[in-house]
Amino acid sequence: MAQDIKDLIIIGSGPAGYTAAIYASRANLSPVLFEGQVLGGQPGGQLMITTDVENYPGFPEGILGPELMTKFRKQAERFGTEILSQDVVKVDFKNQPFTLESSEGKTYQTKAVIIATGAAAKWLGLESEKKLQGHGVSACATCDGAFFRDKHVVVIGGGDSAMEEATFLSRFASQVTIVHRNETLRASQIMQDRAKKNPKINFILNAEVVEIKDVSQNKVTGVVLKDNAKNTTSELSCDGVFLAIGHTPNTKIFEGQVKLDKKGYIETTDGTKTNIEGIFASGDVVDHVYRQAITAAGTGCMAALDAERYLAQN
């Protein structure tokens, strides 16, 4: 019996994936969306571990991240998107129709694919860090900086993004402390100079955060620092902790299938087109600059429109 070939499969369920599904289903493409634990990521994307979202248009009072993603999901379902709570674990984009294998061992074939698997922030791996995510621990200064007005925050990292996050946070916080595990920063000289000239920013080098307090209070009250030179520990009081040690795009299963840049992000041209005709990519799996829900949703819309045109022409 011949397998049913789908018009469009969307891999990923954050703002990009759901927006692509809304547009594609309204265009009668009958999309199938895999929301699973996408490639080790979070169903619904990083907003599922975000508390208050105050910068998404249309919600003047703000909205909880998981609530916003629930609304995205319901809207996609309303227009007929078939949502599967599975992972895609293997793909074959070498031949048409494209073939995808799910975590349940099922095989799917499709004429077009939108990849929206996102990127995951790198974390320290502390239990306290995990428990306090959304309660003072964040990986996005642009998203959460305004909650720390007149507070003391710690930024962990030594690269350009750490300097950028610290500089941004200094608009709100009374004090920003950059903690970096090495004696020297990795950031470009211009970014270092900008941070060092900022009177609100100070540095603790050659030190690591080994614990974030205080889980029992369900809020950040400080960090435990290990001095790598002296092998001693000390406590630093603060009200928030921002991770700025990079992101990892969820692209492992696409290696050797679509063109990736040196950091592992999918390369696109002419909108959301990858190097393979019929395969499109959107959201944080492409974008390592802006990384916002609104920009991810925007590229999800673009990918759906690009896929619709591709399918119409073929």
Instruction: For residue 39, give Cα distances in angstroms to 92, 126, 292.
Output: 16, 21, 20
Catalytic residue from among 4, 7, 87, 143: 143
The catalytic residue among 87, 144, 284, 287 is 144
- DSSP letter at 2? P
Alpha-carbon dihedral angle through residues 181, 186, 191, 196, given to the nearest 10 degrees: 40
> Long-range contacts: 228-235, Cβ < 8 Å, 24+?
228/181
The identity of residue 108, as a single letter, is Y
Burial (CB count <10 Å: 0-12, 13-18, 19+), residue 13: buried
Among residues 140, 160, 214, 227, which one is catalytic?
Answer: 140
| Cα separation, 310 vs 314, whole angstroms | 6
Tell me the C-alpha to C-alpha distance, in Å, between residue 198 and each of 138, 202, 231, 246. Answer: 22, 8, 29, 23
Q: Quick check: bond before 214 cis, omega within 30?
A: yes
- What distance in Å separates the CA atoms of residue 128 and residue 149, rounded to the nearest whole number? 23
Residue with tokens 């320290």: 124
Annotated active-site residue 143? The verdict is yes
How close are the terminal C-alpha atoms of the chain, in Å? Answer: 24
Token pair 């990079």 in the structure block, residue: 246
Q: Which residues are catalytic?
A: 140, 143-144
